[in-house]
């Protein structure tokens, strides 16, 4: 993940994402550099428009947010039902 962060940092600073720059960022952060991983990542990013990839990821995240929110609400409702059932069972024990 650190390799991706280094590439993103370089990109956001308007620097070329190349092997030397990625290695320099990683070394400055005191990360042990695996040159094979750096080469592979730089090669895989060669034909990628990073700005478009970020925009698409942001859209996907926004699109997923309502589904995640609905899931949280369902979970809250389930928890509330369990709490009500537990409370009713506890009251029933009082009047046994």
Q: For residue range 40-75, what is the model confidence (pLDDT) as tens digits?
A: 999 999 999 999 988 888 777 766 667 666 666 676
pLDDT of residue 59: 79
Q: Cβ(25)–Cβ(9) under 8 Å?
A: yes
Alpha helix segments (H runs only) across the chain: 2-12, 19-28, 35-45, 50-95
CATH of the domain at 46: 1.10.10.1410
Average pLDDT over residues 6-24: 96
pLDDT-based confidence at residue 82 (cuts at 50, 70, 90): low
pLDDT-based confidence at residue 89 (cuts at 50, 70, 90): low
Handedness of CA 73, 74, 75, 79 (dihedral sign): positive
pLDDT of residue 7: 95
Which has more confidence, 83 or 26?
Answer: 26
Task: Domain of residue 60: give its range.
Answer: 2-95
Which has more confidence, 10 or 75?
Answer: 10
Directed axis angle between helix 2-12 and helix 19-28, to 10°? 110
Q: How many separate domains does the chain show?
A: 1
């Amino acid at each position: 993940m650190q390799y991706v962060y280094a590439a993103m940092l370089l990109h956001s600073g308007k620097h070329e994402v190349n092997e030397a720059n990625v290695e320099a960022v990683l070394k400055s952060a005191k990360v042990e550099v695996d040159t094979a991983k750096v080469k592979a990542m730089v090669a895989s990013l060669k034909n990628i428009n990073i700005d478009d990839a970020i925009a698409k990821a942001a859209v996907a995240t926004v699109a997923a947010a309502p589904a995640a929110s609905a899931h949280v609400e369902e979970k809250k409702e389930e928890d509330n039902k369990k709490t009500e059932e537990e409370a009713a069972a506890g009251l029933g024990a009082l009047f046994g």
